[in-house]
Amino acid sequence: MAEITTSTIMDLRARTNAGMMDCKRALNETKGDMEAAIKLLRLQGLAIQVKRAGKEANQGIVQAAASADGACMALVEVNCETDFVAKTDGFKAFVAAVAAKVLAGDENVAETMKDDLVAIVSSTGENVKIRRVARFVRGGSGLVESYIHMGGKVGVLVEVGCGQAATAQKPVFTTLVHDVALQIAASAPRWLNSAEVPAEVVASEKDLYRKQVEGKPANVVEKILEGKIKKFYTEVCLVDQPFVKEPKTSITQVTAAVAKECGDTIAIKRFARFQLGAA
């Protein structure tokens, strides 16, 4: 049996973030075997994780990570139970590690980092969840941009493509991409364009509007429905939304104006928006 000293206990505590008495007990149970003690504490951490699983976890951090050349970006949302834990260095480091893994192409980060997840649950005593992740790799000419709002409460990824590589270097184009990222953060679109809106959602909206205009002639109803659906698209579809900086201009119109100035074709390809604790 290896000698269990205060130094050994402190070493185990530094490596696991577990309490001093828990570390002493683990070392006693494993007869001083450091690796076995770490494993034991993690197993106990897993028990804590199961116990905490029913606790609501809607605090945390939304964080982005980018490759050195900016061609690839990742966005992650990691939840915990309290804002206090979200502000700790240990939790921030865990979120950064998750973002780095996703950036590197890990498609199953929750499984890959399960030991780290157990460790952070054990050290914080809170339910911690890797809730959702996204990774964009630029396809062709254009830019991928990330934007984090409200200190990690809202995060955005967006990819905007162009026809010519030189366009991506023009200030007017980079400003457009940044503005689109701000737009997504501020206006929370649900889809890129009307083609992406599920048919059942459109049908549900129409049913609602029909109830509002019951008794009117059929031809009048259809015109009203057409107008209301168009208005619905301006609320939920990014390209149809009014530009937050110039509400009388749509995102489509802003994009077209920049394309004309650049003498190129420009298209918003995709986006992801994570809001802490939201659907």
Structure tokens at 90: 């240990």
Q: How far is CA 12 from CA 38, 44, 167, 200, in A?
A: 7, 14, 54, 55
User: Rounded CA gap, 186 and 67, in Å?
Assistant: 25
pLDDT in tens, 168-189: 999 999 999 999 999 999 999 9
Q: What are phi and psi of 31, to 5 degrees?
A: 55, 40
CA–CA gap between residue 44 and residue 32 (Å, rounded): 17
Strand partners, 277: none
Q: Which two tokens stand for residue 104?
A: 């590197």
User: Residue for token digits 């394309």?
Assistant: 259
Amino acid at 136: F
- Closest by CA to 17, choosing from 128, 129, 119, is 119
Give CA–CA dist 118/133, Å, rounded.
Answer: 19
Give the residue, 241 or 45, on which the prediction is more confident.
Answer: 241
Q: Are 174 and 261 in contact (CB under 8 A)?
A: no
If we measure between CA atoms, which residue out of 219, 56, 210 comes closest to residue 128? Answer: 56
Query: Using only C-alpha atoms, what is the Rg of the chain?
Result: 25
Decide which of 145 and 218 is more confident. Answer: 145
At residue 82, the pLDDT reads 94
Percent of the chain with pLDDT strictly greater than 70: 95
Poorest-confidence range of 14-28, 41-55, 185-199?
41-55
**What's the pLDDT score for residue 53?**
62
- pLDDT (tens digit per residue) in 214-257: 888 888 888 989 999 999 999 999 999 999 999 999 999 999 99
What is the residue type of 168?
Answer: A
Rounded CA-CA distance 180/245 in Å is 10
